[in-house]
Copies of this chain bind each other. A is one copy, B any other.
Amino acid sequence: MKAFMISAIITSTVMGASLINDAKTAGLKPIPANPKSVEKLTSNPNNKTTSAKVELGKMLYFDPRLSKSGLISCNSCHNLALGGTDGMSAAIGHKWTSNPHGLSSPTVYNAVFYSQQFWDGRSPHLEDQAQGPIQAGPEMAAPKEFVTGVVNSIPEYVAMFQKAYGKNVTVSFEKVADTIAVFERTLVTPSRYDDFLNGNLKALNKAEQKGLKTFIDKGCATCHNDIALGGTMQAFGVVAPYKYMNVGDFKGDKNGMVRVPTLRNITQTAPYFHNGQIATLPEAIKEMGRIQLGVDLSEEEIGSIHTFLKSLEGRKPQVVYPMLPASTVTTPKVDVVNN
């Protein structure tokens, strides 16, 4: 009995160690333990992370006054309480407008690890990305000068920008977006999967390790790789067309490539795919096998991959809800119903 147990432990350990090598070979990488490495890996190099920027960026992220209505913040669609998204198949924005392309809101958690931002990958980093939804008519609908008008009308905000960037800072729209991006860099969620890749063989149980093995062996990591298990542009519908491709008019970038979503916290970000037409992970896994890999995954394989995906639920950073400085008489007002 004792000999059997020791043998089982050795087998398990060897399988674990070899699986880590398989994962590395497949291009899978853990979240860097050092936040400075996150900055180095991913950021606009001119925009260093500092605690003053993170704190200010958090306030701006949660401030609905950056939208033309005064009602919608970054957090409305990328809700940190709901896995960094909104649970909608297509995002709803200014004046209750549904996303015109039928696109869902990607999670903000771990988005810093993406090589491209937006479903069509048109943006290189978070600093650039953050400028989009604030201005987009169906999202926050705020012109640049409206946003700078709001921020500059609130002395506490101006003082925080000065603290973050120096006394002579001009609070431009780009600075607002840059600062939000620095906060977003902190939204990374290390999980048991990372602990496993970092050598803690007990961090994933056998069923989860088997799921990771299936995930690699079936080819999922061809697209879902690197730190985010996603984040690059890839061909979509390689073998067969996605069965809900007709919902919305999104067809990828000019080459038909689509930005691969992260699998981290995927249990918390339903519904799935760019147009949010798939409600459950087993169905999403099956559809991916069919249209990307050309395989009809068995129920057992789907279940095994699903088991692995659950282990990607990460440890969220604690976010203290910010207290925002009050508007002043010079803060731009809008007629929220008619404008």
- Report which A residues bind B (CB closer than 8 A): 62-65, 69-71, 76, 79-83, 86-88, 92, 95-96, 98, 267-268, 270, 279-280, 316, 318-324, 326-327, 329, 333, 336-337
Contacts and interface: CB of A to CB of B under 8 A. Distances in A.
B326 A267 contact: yes
Given A81-B62, A336-B92, A321 B320 contact: yes
Contacts of A318: 320
Given A70-B86, A92-B71, A319 B321 contact: yes
Contact of A82 (B86, B98, B324): B324
Given A95-B96, A320-B319, A329-B280, A64 B79 contact: yes
A223 B239 CA distance: 73
A71 B95 contact: no
Nearest to A94: B96
Contacts of A268: 326
Nearest to A79: B64
Contacts of A319: 320-321
B336 A81 contact: no
Contact of A81 (B80, B82, B270, B321): B321
